[in-house]
Amino acid sequence: MVEKRNWFLRKVWQTVRAYDMFTRGERVVVAVSGGGDSVAMLLALKKLAQALGLELVVAHLNHQLRASAREDQTFVCQLARDLGLPVDTRELPRELLSGSNVEARARVLRYAYLREVAQRFDCTKVATGHTRDDQAETILLRLLRGTGLRGLRGILHVRSDGIVRPLIDCSRAEARDFLLELGVPWREDESNRDLRLLRNRVRAALIPELKAMQPGFSAAVARLATVAREAVDALDAVVNEKLRSVEMAEGHLDLASLRELPPYWRGELLRLWLRQQTGTVPEPALVRKLNTAVESRTQPFVVLSGRKATGYVCTRGEYLIYVPQDQVSRIAEDQDWSAVTLEPGRSYSMPGGWLFTVEMCVEPQRELDEMTRDEMSALVDADALKGSLVARPARHGDTLTPLGMRGKRKLQDVYCDRHVARLERWGRPIVEDAGTIVWVPGVVRAAHARIRPTTRRAWHLRATRLGVERSG
């Protein structure tokens, strides 16, 4: 049983039991940096391990960002040996954390390492030493950057990927008092005093001011996180029910039913649907863009999920569908649409969320000088055209002569040179004149019907893209 006289162990025990963090017989990776929070967590779990039926494995990642990092690593190894626990450590190559945004990249690498240790040691949970103070800092940072209801949940006690936080209801001071009572030392991270980092400024300046105004500030923020978490759980239950009402066969969504929903509910439903379809949590910006595109009734559009595209989201008939990466070829075939003849003074909505506008230009030389080089607009010599300008889908085998170059090139090779994602290549609109490509919007202007010093009449083509988002 728990040592009844130890207040700290009782508090950790109550949190562990209240959130069903562990199951008897589980092996748990304990992430230990050497700081007071993680050392207190390790000692508490070691004392509770028999009562909880747990086997512990200590893990430490040396980021090599500080002069004392090697000493931290040695300290953790010795502590694990003193406790009779297996320990795994690793040193990150310094080049992996060079450049900007070091904190974020270090966090990604740290969790990847912990998942790897869990797999090697056959562990089902990973325990991290986040405290109630970390909770308050995290929620304040999210408020400063702008957050919604989900962000106000802060650091979750238990995550779906097996990450658990046994100390989340304890304060940082309580963790250190526990160690002082036991006579166990810990390491101090000197980078926590670096006020160039926003989190450190929040910790050193903002939170003390808030605590001076409201002594129970951290506890109040923890209560806010609990209320937000309960609200999100209730919201998700309702959204799940609504999703069942608009989801058709094969996971397709009925667009008419989607458009009847208020924007907030539709956004929550799309977030849940994307998570189910992709297996990852979609970025808020992606959900907002997709929500707007559905409401604006644009033509079929694409959503790229991640830096490397993992799938399409597009409309097919009256349905919204998701198609994964391994079925891209099927999408390319489905994006084969009928050609459209372009005329001045009109706008055209194209598949893929493209919108074309065509205008006559009476001063082509002046407009050419003022045009930006983003390939989203093009000037075409009207008198050099052999026929009508036509927008059609790009196809395998297309060739063109890029402006400023001699000789034809395969469109496939141009796509590769311009780093156009595979999902974005085929089926996108291109403009041609009598079978000769004039322009590939967003990619390249061809030499055909280019503006010359003698040009008197020209067409100004502009393209915009609706409902498209890259995340990550």
Burial of 376 (0-12, 13-18, 19+ CB in 10 A): middle
pLDDT digits (tens, 9 = 90+) for 256-268: 888 899 999 999 9
pLDDT band of 441, cuts 50, 70, 90: very high
Q: CA-to-CA distance for 141 and 127, rounded, in angstroms?
A: 23
HSE-CB of 275 using CA atoms within 13 angstroms: 15
* Residue 350 sits in the same domain as residue 290: no
283 part of a folded domain: yes
Same domain, 283 and 431: no
CATH number of the domain that residue 344 is part of: 3.50.40.10
Number of domains in the chain: 3
The domain boundary residue, chosen from 225, 257, 277: 225
Q: Is 360 helix (H, G, I), strand (E, B) or coil?
A: strand
Look at residue 4 in the predicted model and tell me its pLDDT.
45
The reply to whether the predicted model has a pTM over 0.75 is no
Q: Left (φ > 0), alpha (ψ -120 to 50) or beta: where does 390 sit?
A: beta
Check whether residue 433 and residue 303 sit in a common domain. no
Shared-domain flag, residues 14 and 97: yes
Confidence at 308, pLDDT banded by 50, 70, 90: very low
* pLDDT tens, position by position, 364-391: 777 776 665 667 889 899 999 999 999 9
CATH number at residue 252: 1.20.59
Distance CA 291, CA 145 (A): 22
Query: Which tens digits make up the pLDDT trace of 31-77?
Result: 999 999 999 999 999 999 999 999 999 999 998 888 889 999 999 99
Could you give the C-alpha distances from 72 to 34, 116, 188, 353, in angstroms and in order?
Answer: 6, 21, 9, 53
Helices (H), 2-131: 7-18, 36-52, 69-82, 102-120
Domain identity same for 42 and 164: yes
Looking at residues 158-165, what average pLDDT do you find? 94
pLDDT band at residue 303 using 50, 70 and 90 as cut-offs: low
CA distance 450 to 447: 6
- Give the structural domain span for 247: 242-333
For residue 249, give the DSSP letter: G
Residue with tokens 């740290």: 110
Residue 472 lies in a domain: no
235 assigned to some structural domain? no
Most confident listed range (46-55, 197-206, 251-260, 401-410): 46-55
Q: Give the pLDDT of residue 374.
A: 64
